[in-house]
Amino acid sequence: MSKKAAPWIVLTTEKPGMDAQNRNAINEWCGVVGKQSYRRPRKVNIQFPSRAVNWKNQQRSNSDPLKVADFLDDFEDQPLPSARPRPAQHTESSDNNRPGEAILESLTKSATGSGARSRKKKGSVSTAMKQRRDERNWEVDWAASVFCKDGSMGIRVDPFDCVPGTTSDPRQGEIVDYYKQILDPGVVATFFVFDMRSTYGRMPLECLMDDGFRPLGLASIAGTMSSVKHAAVNREYILAQLGKGMRLLRQRLSRPDGADGDIVLISIMFLAASAYLTGDLGGFKVHTKSLKQLVAARGGLDHLGYGGSTKTVLLQWDAAWKLSTGDSLWVDDRPRKMPIYPPLPLDEPTRALVDRLPLGFRELCTRGLICVELLDILARMTTALSYKSSRNIPYDQKIGQHDDYLSVSSLHTLSTPNEKGSTRPPTLEALLTLGLILFSSTAFNEMRATPVIFRGPKDALYEHLLRLGPESHKLGDDAQSQCLRWLWAVTVDAWRDASRELMPQGRHLQTQFYNRYSSHWETSQDLVNMLKRFFWSEDLVQFQKASFESFKANGEVS
């Protein structure tokens, strides 16, 4: 294979388990993400957009996507993570114009201290040590200036190094604390309710121990902070980490065995997720195409490692991407399960299960409108709400019936809004299933962190509800009509951030909601009574009550 085919990396022809077609595809991808462009002047105010993020006055339209690869040169001089375990023993390259050599040196040298350094006389300070100290001070000052005004997000509580043996990073500790205190607990309820195997918990922390993956993992986690922290406090840091991650990934793939190991797949998946969140559809397609080629070269999803967790995380993210983009890598290749409905009248065990549900769902079940699998999800939601907090839910992340929520049979007829040929409106069951995902993402997620698995259902329900014409909402059964109105309220609520402010999409959806249904409620209490016929939280009720009163008084949502 000619090296011209891959400007940055050419995989060896002796690569086991990989045919020429897959090698060509991977080399093509490496050339795209590693393509050098002319150095652009550094932007002082880089925008970092997301459809589910309210950047206040710093929004950027999705028609002008941010291409992370274009910023690789801008961050070429930023310090890179090192594999050496003790920060005091890190060495820096004396040639500031060649940072790549310092990385290779740190990745290949053994983790041993310098004997010459230990033999220095007490009180003597070498020029190299002074330089390292100055550079370390500069890193701290730079981090404080771009990450947050005070250099903190206010959630760092663990005084110990959360990722032992890694380079000291003023932001790393807070990002990992954010993951453990906010992001991870916020998804537990969803995995419990939908009986899914969780890919959160320990797996991301174990991946962060890998030097090549760490920048991509930190960038992805920091990106979800946008819904928690107003203003673009971390966009430059995220771009810098993505640049580091791309360079380290290219270095890994340049080795003969570089494409082996699930960590490469997870790294490319995180690159795709970053492109997805920033609106870079072209980059997203490049990364996902390469990801599918690499999985095929490994023999398919069932041959991946981490005890099946790699397959699970790929399917979960693919399900979220499908709901947003209409395209999938793997979830469309499997047969969909047909729903099974309990016979009417309900037998005694089923009746006992239904009696635990709120009144609105009980009416739907007694009319035979809820399949057995969705009934189990409703019952598990009732159980989860009884624990008040997701931290109290007795959930074992290794045990679960499903890899992702699209494997639920109630979604067998669901076609996503952006899917080709998508003209058939979804069933109430399919909409309800997506609505339960969103309700679990807010009722048990006080800080409103929005990981990828929640963005897909939120985007899909937003599009589905707006596409349904007014005549589609005139259902004959009152229980169905009220359930659909509850779905509108839950979807609107999912478009609020941590400060409980409506994002632009949520404000538009709320206005449409009231324009269609406000005539059904004379007072805000009527709206509250409707919400309480289904699953509800005090936060949801108080928000809709205040917003409806404002709409009645001023003709605008609050």
Report helix, strand or coil for 244. helix
Task: Assign 94 a pLDDT band (cuts: 50, 70, 90).
Answer: very low
Summarised one tens digit per residue, pLDDT across range 285-316 is 899 999 999 999 888 998 888 788 899 889 98
Residue 232 pLDDT greater than 60, yes or no: no
pTM for the structure as a whole = 0.71
Residue 373 pLDDT greater than 80, yes or no: yes
Q: Which residue has the higher pLDDT, 514 or 143?
A: 514
Q: How far apart are CA 490 and CA 473, in angstroms?
A: 16
> Among 22-36, 264-278, 327-341, whose mean pLDDT is lowest?
22-36
| Both structure tokens of 408 | 């639920």
Residue 38 pLDDT greater than 50, yes or no: no
Residue 3 pLDDT greater than 70, yes or no: no
pLDDT score recorded for residue 227: 57
> Among 16-20, 146-150, 206-210, whose mean pLDDT is lowest?
146-150
Q: Which residue has the higher pLDDT, 57 or 310?
A: 310
Mean pLDDT to the nearest integer, 357-371: 93
Q: Euclidean distance between the first and final Cα of the chain, in Å? A: 62
Q: Percent of the chain beyond pLDDT 90?
A: 23
Q: What is the DSSP string of 218-239?
A: HHHHHHGGGGTS-S-SSHHHHH
Segment of 184-198, 250-264, 522-536 carrying the highest mean pLDDT: 522-536
Q: How far apart are CA 190 and CA 12, in angstroms?
A: 43
Summarised one tens digit per residue, pLDDT across range 114-154 is 333 333 444 444 565 665 555 545 444 433 333 343 344 55
Segment of 65-79, 159-173, 345-359, 496-510 carrying the highest mean pLDDT: 345-359
| Both structure tokens of 374 | 């969705």
Sequence-distant contacts of 328-337: CB under 8 A, at least 24 apart? 329/288, 329/291, 329/292, 329/295, 330/292, 330/295, 330/301, 331/404, 331/406, 331/407, 334/407, 336/409, 336/411, 336/412, 337/373, 337/407, 337/409, 337/412
Residue 477 pLDDT greater than 60, yes or no: no
pLDDT score recorded for residue 363: 94
- Average pLDDT of the chain is 71
Segment of 77-86, 131-140, 184-193, 482-491 carrying the highest mean pLDDT: 482-491
- Name residue, tokens 């909601």: 513
> Among 119-133, 268-282, 521-535, whose mean pLDDT is lowest?
119-133
* Residue 279 and residue 317 in contact, taking contact as beta carbons nearer than 8 Å: no
Give me the residues paired with residue 496 across strands. Answer: 502
Task: Assign 444 a pLDDT band (cuts: 50, 70, 90).
Answer: confident
pLDDT score recorded for residue 333: 80
**What is the chain's alpha carbon radius of gyration, rounded to the nearest angstrom?**
26
Burial code of 463-499, b = ≥16 C-beta within 10 A, e = fewer?
A: bbbeebeeeeeeeeeebbbbbbbbbbbbbbbbbbbbe
Q: Which residue has the higher pLDDT, 427 or 486?
A: 486
Q: Percent of the chain beyond pLDDT 70?
A: 63
Summarised one tens digit per residue, pLDDT across range 153-166 is 555 555 555 565 55
pLDDT score recorded for residue 328: 83
pLDDT score recorded for residue 534: 97
pLDDT score recorded for residue 186: 86
Q: How far apart are CA 170 and CA 114, in angstroms?
A: 25
Q: How far apart are CA 253 and CA 248, in angstroms?
A: 9
* Residue 311 and residue 403 in contact, taking contact as beta carbons nearer than 8 Å: yes
Residue 499 pLDDT greater than 90, yes or no: no
Q: Report which DSSP code applies to 447.
A: T
Mean pLDDT to the nearest integer, 415-423: 55
- CA 134 to centroid of chain Cα atoms: 36
pLDDT score recorded for residue 394: 76
